[in-house]
């Protein structure tokens, strides 16, 4: 069995989507993920063991592991502490936004519609935040 190369972290605010995607892909994790074997790849447990960890505490850990963060936050541009943590730790983040991202089904639709573009962001250096909707993937100014 080969180890999985984990590339994506699904934040606790989209835990249902994270668990769904992680049941299909070995390169994704979520807070509290016990690890799994998917397609003959062994994914280790997530280093964030609880959903109760503050953003400013888990962002440096996940960024240090080189993971791209997937979250849901329509007001991401107004979250100064989170924007600062993303900038300071050179995080790479995609925020599912709009009314389209309220249910797991709709979050999945946004994610799948933008998946190839989101996946390409794993090759980019941070810091950055992109807002993702069904029809758009747009950069958020960090300043």
pLDDT in tens, 24-82: 999 999 999 999 999 999 999 999 999 999 888 999 999 999 999 999 976 666 667 77
Closest CA to 27 of 57, 66, 59, 76: 66
Give pLDDT, residue 74: 62
d(CA 22, CA 36): 9
Give pLDDT, residue 126: 94
Structure token digits, residue 48: 């964030």
Reported pTM = 0.94
45: number of CA atoms within 13 Å, CB side? 6
Give how far the C-alpha of residue 14 lies from the chain's centroid of Cα atoms, to the nearest Å.
Answer: 9
Pairing mode, strands 8-10 and 68-72:
parallel
Q: Tell me if 95 sits within 8 A of 73, measured CB to CB.
A: yes
d(CA 35, CA 47): 10
Give pLDDT, residue 77: 62
What mean pLDDT, rounded, does the chain reach? 92
141 vs 126, more confident: 126
Give pLDDT, residue 143: 72
């Amino acid at each position: 069995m080969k180890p999985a190369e984990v590339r994506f972290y699904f934040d606790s605010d989209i835990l249902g989507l994270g668990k769904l995607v992680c049941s299909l892909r070995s390169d994704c994790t979520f807070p509290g993920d016990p690890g799994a074997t998917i397609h003959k790849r062994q994914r280790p447990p997530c280093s964030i063991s609880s959903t109760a960890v503050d953003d400013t505490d888990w962002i440096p850990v996940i960024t240090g592991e080189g993971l791209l963060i997937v979250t849901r936050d329509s007001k991401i541009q107004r979250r100064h502490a989170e924007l600062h943590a993303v900038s300071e730790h050179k995080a790479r983040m995609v925020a599912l936004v709009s009314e389209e991202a309220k249910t797991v089904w709709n979050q999945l639709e946004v994610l799948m519609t933008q998946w190839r573009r989101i996946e390409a962001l794993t090759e980019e250096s941070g810091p950055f935040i992109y807002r993702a909707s069904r029809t758009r993937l747009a950069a958020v100014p960090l300043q």
